[in-house]
Amino acid sequence: MHLFSWVDNRTLIVCQCIMAAVFSLVLFCIWRLYPQLRGVGSMAIGFSLGIPTAALFAARGHIPNFLSIVVANFFIFLLYVFLYRGVLLFCQSRGYMPALLTLAGVSLVVLTYYSEVQHNIIPRIFVISLTVGVARALMAYEIYKRSAGQMHMILFSITLGLFSASTLIKALLVPLQGSPDSFLTNDPIQSTQLLSGILFVCVDGMFYLTMLIREVTSTIEHQAQLDFLTGTLNRRGIEEALIVEIARTRRSQRPIAVLLIDIDHFKSINDIQGHAAGDEALRLVSRSIASVLRIYDTLGRFGGDEFLLVLPETTGEPAMMIAERIREALISMSATARIPPMTLSIGVTFFERNEEPIDIIGRADAALYEAKRAGRNCSRLQPPPDLGNPGPHPHVALPRATLLSRVTSRRRTRNTTL
């Protein structure tokens, strides 16, 4: 009597069927809730194919062998094709799908021959194990490539790799050691294989869910940082981007420029043209700014009619040139818009020493104030104090707490007094 003699192999197959049904249901629910999530539909279909597969296996001896052997294993191959397709879609990779389809097709032909023409279980187990092992190895490879240091994906790829190795070893050992005439025979090898199948479904399903939930969480966090009117980052998003860039600048000792951009007379657009025109104006300004940016520049809507632009590896004069290009781009785009021509006032500063984000934003705010005082439709540069700041300015000299309050609550009177 062996360790698993108390376990009926059909019961183990039914357990696999139940686990596959549970995970397929969960994945279909995720697919329904987040249809934009890449690959989840294929993963759900893959797990759902485990249900008829297990049912056909469990019915062996009560239904024709063609159904319980050829059709059941066809579903296994199809199951792994869909799982691999889901991984490729999730990882946005082309992968080796044609190679896997070719291997599955050849294996199905061999399987059919040794089931319907010449009854021999050893070649059948060999081609099934080979195809499944290769599919698992391909999935492990794609997930590892996509991991980018994420521990859950690294563990997933390692787990798939171990399952793949055990399956391929089985494919190599079966011709040497032989196999029972029926996989339903209650012996240690067959029971262990069925138990490992249950373990694979559970582990695979849990890792898939973890991977997808992390992706959903990341998507939600990204959406929480977007301004849906303009398509740029919102205030929270641009402030976090500025903090990240400052941290990178401190490590690399490279400069970073910040532009605070304000739409001139925006209130009059809302009052005269209506809020729909105001919304269109914000979108137009956003497109104008984005049209001159580099791929690594970051734009966000900082306030009602203000945008904050972060320019890595940029100092004062290049930042001023970009500011002028932004103003010119808006003038050009406004000529064909359905709203009156608009202009921008832009405050420019840059960071080259150990400062806090509030210091940089405050200085950009002071530069913007100077642009407003100069008559609007212009740009003004406010360099760090120790890099040739042209004289003190009352808004630069404000205490830190007062400056933060003025920057965050936008208690300016520029629309009424300037």
Q: From CA 317, how far away is CA 299, in angstroms rounded?
A: 19
Break the chain into its structural domains and give their ranges.
Answer: 9-224, 235-417
Q: Going residue by residue through the chain (418 aa), what tens digit of pLDDT does each one get?
A: 444 455 677 788 888 889 999 999 999 999 998 888 899 999 999 999 999 998 998 888 889 989 999 999 999 999 999 999 999 999 999 999 999 999 999 999 999 999 999 988 889 989 999 999 999 999 999 999 999 888 989 999 999 999 999 889 988 887 777 666 565 566 566 667 777 778 888 888 899 999 888 888 888 887 888 888 998 999 999 999 999 898 888 888 888 999 999 999 888 888 788 888 889 999 999 999 999 999 999 999 998 899 999 999 998 899 999 999 999 999 888 877 777 788 999 999 988 677 788 889 999 999 999 999 999 999 999 988 765 444 333 333 333 333 344 444 443 444 444 4
Exposure string for 79-113, b = 16+ CB within 10 A, e = fewer: bbbbbbbbbbbbbeeebbeeebeebbeebbebbbe
- What CATH architecture applies to the domain 235-417? 2-Layer Sandwich (3.30)
Query: Contact 61/31 with Cβ under 8 angstroms?
Result: no
Beta strands in 297-356 (DSSP E): 298-301, 306-312, 344-351
Query: Order of strands, edge to edge, in the sheet holding 298-301?
Result: 298-301, 306-312, 256-263, 344-351, 379-381
0.85 exceeded by pTM = no
